[in-house]
Amino acid sequence: VKSLKEEPVLQVERRDFVDLVPEKRPRVQSLRGFDDCYTDIVDYIVRCTHKIWDERDVGLIYSHYTHNCVLYNALGTLYNREQVVQDTLQRLIAFPERRGMATQVIWNGNDVDGFYTSHLVTGSGRHTQHSHLGKPTNRTFVTRTVADCMI
């Protein structure tokens, strides 16, 4: 096992996404089984949230969420990964300008026993498209979501 230089994990409060996930940041925490692009557990949360929502890489849900995940939102409870994918696609259609940022990441654990994380996602955008929510209102919105994750 390659020895890692001991450094603190990523601090995310009040930072721009580009500053949060520099391309050349070395891995600073053991993350066996994680993709090489992630440098620590906080980077994993911030980067995969950005990839799924802002880069629209919805397919990552299949590798980053368990098949039996449970997600609670304002419209109800989702009980599996397929429902999360469908809900994500519907939201991206309704709010194509939506952008989100994962912040306030707290975590405990390791890559052997698993990680427990919790973070705030602040999203903003405008309702510009016909969707499962009805006709577009062109109203802007800001949402705040707390995500508790077992990884």
pTM score: 0.83
pLDDT digit string (tens) for 74-97? 788 999 999 999 999 999 999 999
Residues 39-68 have pLDDT tens digits of 999 999 999 999 999 999 999 999 999 999
Q: Under CATH, which architecture does the 17-150 domain have?
A: Roll (3.10)
Look at residue 17 in the predicted model and tell me its pLDDT: 67
Strand partners, 142: 124
Residue 103 to residue 42: CA distance in whole angstroms: 9
What is the distance between the alpha carbons of residues 117 and 4, in angstroms, rounded to a whole number? 22
Q: Would you kindly state where each structural domain of the chain is located, as residue ranges?
A: 17-150
